Amino acid sequence: MKTPETRFSYIPSLDADLFAVRAGIPLATAAEEAGCIVDAALGTVRRVACSISIDDGAHLLWSAVYSLDMAHGLLGSIQAALEDREPSAPADGFGYYIAPSDNTAPGPFQWFVVNHANDCVAEYGTADTWSDADQVACDTIERLEKQAAPAPAPEAKPEDPETMRQVWRDMAKMAADELAKLDRAGAEQEARP
């Protein structure tokens, strides 16, 4: 099951909606994103409610805190039910992963687009924020889906030690390159005033 296009944030002076949910997003993914949005809003409202007095309207904010908390719980339940119904990734499509997966962690964030047809990393990169990593990965998947289907990767034979050595060398080089990028990013961040 996937989302239909849904427009929202109507602006009367323009007689138009400002935003829209794109069509074709798997419902489990949409529920996960909605949960993240509600969780962020909940954290903000809770911090504000804790920092003001009842005379200044804290009691009004606490009703929003409890409502957002309930909505967050419902979204989590919906997401879990949808994940049980939908496979996490199509057997022949693309998926992506972001590390660290915690969108509140400090960057940089690594993104990986995986081709599930051959279980290979199709592309990877680094972004400063989790949102940027998410956007780049989604854009990469859209671009890759428009290209011709890749040939399946050759099967590695466990009894062929040279093939396995080459795979491990390639993985070690990729990891070393990414660690070097992280080291440079850390050094640049420390150099900033």
**How large is the C-alpha radius of gyration of the chain?**
22
- 28 Cβ contact list (under 8 Å, min separation 6): 79, 82, 83, 86, 88
Residue 32: the pLDDT is 85
| Terminal alpha carbon distance of the chain | 49
Residue 156: what pLDDT?
52
- Each residue's pLDDT, cut to its tens digit, for the chain (193 residues) gives 788 888 888 889 999 988 888 888 888 888 888 888 888 888 888 888 888 887 887 777 788 888 888 887 888 788 777 776 654 445 567 777 787 766 777 778 888 888 777 667 788 888 888 888 888 888 888 888 888 665 555 565 555 677 767 767 777 777 777 777 777 777 777 777 6
Residues in the chain: 193
pLDDT at 13: 92
Q: Is the pTM of this model over 0.75?
A: no
- Looking at residue 89, its pLDDT comes to 46
Q: 67-98 burial by CB neighbour count: b if 16+ within 10 A, else e?
A: ebeebbeebbebbeebbeeeeeeeeeebebeb
> What does the pLDDT read at residue 192?
73
**Rounded CA gap, 143 and 55, in Å?**
54
